[in-house]
Amino acid sequence: MKMKNVLTVVAAAAVAVFAQSASAQASAPSRADVKAETRAAEKAGKLTPAGEGPGAMSSGKAGPSDKSKAEAKAETRAAVKSRQTTPAGEGQGANAKAEKADKSAASMEKRDERKAATRAAVKARQTTPAGEAPAPAAKP
């Protein structure tokens, strides 16, 4: 008798799950409806052209510049003369390659010295046994 009750409960749960997913699909518009809406919006000219929407690789300011090219060049020359600009090669990220190379550079120890230090650490049981290290943290 217990088995019959368990089967009944499982069957009822399965019906509830399938009914919920079926009702969720029924309330969502069909693919054909979405395509039709998109075509209608396209014909009416309500769609934003590709690359021109909000957040589309913009530098933050909207619209064309209010200065001519000659005015911009003259302004830049004046800033350089009055030393208000950052010298070439000294800006943000200028030494990125050098910094990366420094971080990944090999240590000053020779290979034999590193191997000897590792052997001593293993002998003194200062290393983590294989398979027992904590999982690495997820990158943000």
Question: Global pTM?
Answer: 0.26
The answer to whether the CB of 86 falls within 8 A of the CB of 93 is no
Q: Is residue 13 one of the residues assigned to a domain?
A: yes
Q: How does pLDDT run across 25-37, given as a tens digit for each residue? A: 667 888 999 999 9
Which tokens hold the place of 133? 């290290």
The answer to whether the CB of 83 falls within 8 A of the CB of 89 is no
Q: How does pLDDT run across 46-86, given as a tens digit for each residue? A: 888 877 777 655 555 666 778 899 999 999 999 999 988 88
- Helix, strand, coil shares of the chain, percent, nearest 5, are 55, 0, 45
Could you give the number of structural domains in the chain? Answer: 1
| Span of 92-96, 107-111, 133-137 with lowest mean pLDDT | 92-96
Q: What is the pLDDT of residue 4?
A: 65
Q: What is the pLDDT of residue 58?
A: 54
Q: Is residue 26 one of the residues assigned to a domain?
A: yes
Q: Is residue 104 one of the residues assigned to a domain?
A: no
Helices and strands (H, E) in the chain, number of each type: 5, 0
Q: How does pLDDT run across 110-139, given as a tens digit for each residue? A: 889 989 999 999 999 998 888 888 877 776
Interatomic CA distance for residues 25 and 83, integer angstroms: 64
Q: Is residue 140 one of the residues assigned to a domain?
A: no
Which tokens hold the place of 117? 């230090």
Q: Is residue 49 one of the residues assigned to a domain?
A: no
> Whole domain around residue 12: which residue ranges?
1-44
Q: What is the pLDDT of residue 59?
A: 55
Q: Is residue 11 one of the residues assigned to a domain?
A: yes
